[in-house]
Amino acid sequence: SLIWVDFEKPDEKDNKILADVFRFHPLTIEDAIETRNHPKVESYGNYLFLIVHGVTMETNSTNFVTRELDIYLGQNFVVTYHHESFRSIDSVKSRIRANTFQCERGADYLLHQILDRLVDFYIPVVDDFDAAINRLEDRIFQLKTGSNKLLQEVMDLKRSVARLVRISSRQMDVLTRLANGEFPLIGKDVLPFYRDVFDHLQRV
């Protein structure tokens, strides 16, 4: 049987489940509790520990905000751990309630579904960046003299783009390792789906 345990807004009792029931490494639990970690994937033998970042609902070109999602993948389980609501998690849950097919293909396929939805929510943000840059270009060419307000908008946009690039490039490293067959827990039949998520992230 496949088990998916989702910890949303976890407390001390939930943290004890990670340690006492699943017996996850204490360093991974420490990373999960702390929310200022970079995206990464680590192997602990019979399970993988991943940290990825999803964009929030209010994210746009001048306010690029991400939330950390911690994931454990085992042979027959997925554990997700997050301090705030995640649209990608809610979306996959809705799909499973409508059709259990996602679960029947195994834990590695379920993890793919979560990562796929997480990356999909980046696409509208990138489109918003494109639109914002185009609007700024139009206004710059219309100006006859400098504008402090416009300069501030450019700087805000630059900071958001830098954060987007930083987060996305580190998540590219995670997806590269997952899609290239580095980990036996990701079955060969599922690797093409991970490569598809990698392609989407590459567009971002």
Q: How far apart are CA 197 and CA 122, in angstroms?
A: 12
Q: State yes or no: pLDDT of 146 exceeds 70.
A: no
Q: Which of 30, 14, 70 is nearest to 47 (CA)?
A: 70
Lowest mean pLDDT among 19-23, 72-76, 139-143, 175-179: 139-143
Place of tokens 């219309």: 142
Q: How far apart are CA 149 and CA 156, in angstroms?
A: 11
Lowest mean pLDDT among 112-121, 151-160, 192-201: 151-160
Both tokens assigned to 69: 């999602």
Q: What is the pLDDT of residues 24-34, one digit of tens each?
A: 999 999 999 99
Q: What is the mean pLDDT of the chain?
A: 91
Mean local confidence (pLDDT), 92-96: 94
For residue 107, which phi and psi values (nearest 5 degrees)?
A: -65, -40
Confidence band, pLDDT 50/70/90 cuts, at residue 23: very high
Strands (E), 56-175: 66-74, 77-82
Residue 37 backbone zone (phi > 0: left; psi -120 to 50: alpha; other: beta)? beta
Q: What is the pLDDT of residue 144?
A: 62
Q: What is the pLDDT of residues 53-75, one digit of tens each?
A: 999 887 777 778 899 999 999 99
Q: How far apart are CA 177 and CA 173, in angstroms?
A: 6
